[in-house]
Amino acid sequence: QKEVEQDPGPLSVPEGAIVSLNCTYSNSAFQYFMWYRQYSRKGPELLMYTYSSGNKEDGRFTAQVDKSSKYISLFIRDSQPSDSATYLCATIDNNDMRFGAGTRLTVKP
Amino acid sequence: ETGVTQSPTHLIKTRGQQVTLRCSSQSGHNTVSWYQQALGQGPQFIFQYYREEENGRGNFPPRFSGLQFPNYSSELNVNALELDDSALYLCASSWDGSNYGYTFGSGTRLTVV
What confidence tens digit (pLDDT) does each residue in B72-103 have?
Answer: 899 999 999 999 999 999 999 988 766 667 88
By CB atoms closer than 10 A (0-12, 13-18, 19+), residue B80 is: exposed
Query: How many alpha carbons fall within 13 Å on the CB side of residue A48?
Result: 24
Residues from chain A that touch B107, judged by Cβ atoms under 8 A, are: 42-43
Average pLDDT over residues B37-45: 94
Instruction: Give the residue on A whose Cα is nearest the Cα of B4.
Output: A43
Predicted pLDDT at A45: 93
Helices (H) and strands (E) in chain A — how many of each?
0, 11
Asked if the model's pLDDT at residue A35 lies above 90, the reply is yes
Beta-carbon-side half-sphere exposure of residue A88 (alpha carbons within 13 Å): 21
Residue B14, chain A, CB below 8 Å: the answer is: no
Distance from CA of B34 to the nearest CA of A (A): 10
Average pLDDT, chain B: 92
CA distances, B37 to each of A43, A65, A90, B84, B91 (Å): 10, 25, 14, 11, 11
For residue B99, what pLDDT is reported?
61
Q: What does pLDDT average to over chain A?
A: 92
Q: CB of B108 within 8 A of CB of B7?
A: yes
Backbone angles phi, psi at A82, to 5 degrees: -70, -10
Partners of residue B99 in chain A, C-beta under 8 Å? 32, 49, 92
Nearest chain B Cα distance for residue A71, angstroms: 18
Check residue B95 and give its pLDDT: 81
Q: Let me know: does A36 contact A52? Beta carbons within 8 Å.
A: no
Please tell me the number of Cα atoms within 13 Å of B72 on its side-chain side. Answer: 21
Check residue B28 and give its pLDDT: 80
What mean pLDDT do residues A23-33 have? 91
Of A42-51, A68-77, B3-12, give the lowest mean pLDDT range. A42-51
State phi, psi for B85 to the nearest 5 degrees: -80, -10
Average pLDDT over residues A27-55: 90
The helix (run of H) or strand (run of E) holding residue A27 is none
3-state SS assignment for residue A82: helix
| Residues of B whose CB is below 8 A from A96 | 45, 48, 56, 58
Q: Is the model's pLDDT at A52 over the cut of 90?
A: no
A vs B: CB pairs below 8 A: 58
User: Do residues B23 and B4 touch, judged by C-beta distance below 8 A?
Assistant: yes
Region of poorest pLDDT, from A7-11, A13-17, A105-109, B98-102: B98-102
Q: Which of B40, B97, B105 sits opposite A95 (nearest CB)?
A: B97
Residue B1's pLDDT is 47
Contacts of A45 in chain B (CB under 8 A): 104
Relative to beta strand B19-24, strand B74-78 is antiparallel
